[in-house]
Amino acid sequence: MEEEKASGAVRALGTMSGTSLDGVDAAVLVTDGVEIRGFGQTGYRAYGANEAAVLRAALGRWPGEEGVESAAELVTAAHVDLLRTFADAELIGFHGQTFAHEPRGRGTHQAGDGQAIADATGRPVVWDFRSADIRAGGEGAPLAPVFHWALARWIKAEAPVAFLNLGGVGNLTWVNPAAEDPFAPGALLAFDTGPANAPVNDLVERRLGWTQDRGGALAASGRAHVNTVVDMLAHRFFQRPPPKSLDRDAFPDLAERVMGMSDADAAATLVRFVAESVAAGMVWCPSVPAQLLVTGGGRHNAAMMAALAELLPCEVVPVEAVGLDGDMLEAQAFAYLAVRALHGLPLSGPGTTGAPEPVPGGRISWPGTPEG
In the three-class reduction of DSSP (H, G, I as helix; E, B as strand; rest coil), residue 234 is classed as coil
* Range scoring the smallest mean pLDDT among 53-57, 101-105, 131-135, 237-241: 101-105
Across residues 95-104, what is the average pLDDT? Answer: 93
Whether pLDDT at 104 is above 90 = no
Query: Per this entry, what is the length of the chain?
Result: 372
pLDDT digits (tens, 9 = 90+) for 191-213: 999 999 999 999 999 999 998 99
Residue 151 lies in a domain: no
Across residues 44-60, what is the average pLDDT? Answer: 95
Residue 202 lies in a domain: yes
Residues 112, 164 within the same domain: no
Find, among 90, 88, 129, 118, the residue nearest to 10 by Cα.
90
Distance CA 120, CA 224 (A): 49
Q: How many CB atoms sit inside 10 A of residue 53's CB?
A: 11
Residue 146 lies in a domain: no
Whether pLDDT at 6 is above 70 = no
At residue 248, the pLDDT reads 75
Strand partners of residue 73: none
- The count of structural domains within the chain is 2
Residues 313, 342 within the same domain: no
* Range scoring the smallest mean pLDDT among 131-135, 251-255, 312-316: 251-255
pLDDT digits (tens, 9 = 90+) for 276-301: 999 999 999 999 999 999 999 999 99
Residue 196 lies in a domain: yes
Find, among 162, 167, 169, 166, the residue nearest to 189 by Cα.
162
Residues 313, 331 within the same domain: no
Find, among 110, 111, 27, the residue nearest to 69 by Cα.
111
Residue 3 lies in a domain: no
Residues 180, 276 within the same domain: yes
Residue 343 lies in a domain: yes
Domain residues for the domain of 216 are 156-322
Residue 150 lies in a domain: no
> Residue 248: which CATH number?
3.30.420.40
Residues 310, 334 within the same domain: no
Residues 313, 179 within the same domain: yes
Asked if 31 and 104 count as a contact pair (C-beta separation under 8 A), the reply is: no
**Contacts for 87 with CB less than 8 Å, ≥ 6 apart:** none
Distance CA 120, CA 77 (A): 10
Residues 213, 357 within the same domain: no
pLDDT digits (tens, 9 = 90+) for 20-33: 788 999 999 999 99
Handedness of CA 303, 304, 306, 310 (dihedral sign): positive
Residues 50, 162 within the same domain: no
Residues 56, 129 within the same domain: yes
Residue 256 lies in a domain: yes
Residues 90, 212 within the same domain: no
Residues 122, 214 within the same domain: no
Asked if 174 and 160 count as a contact pair (C-beta separation under 8 A), the reply is: yes
At residue 186, the pLDDT reads 96
Residues 271, 242 within the same domain: yes
Mean pLDDT of the chain: 95
pTM for the predicted model, two decimal places: 0.94
* Most distant pair of Cα atoms in the chain: their distance: 60
Model confidence band, residue 372 (pLDDT cutoffs 50, 70, 90): very low
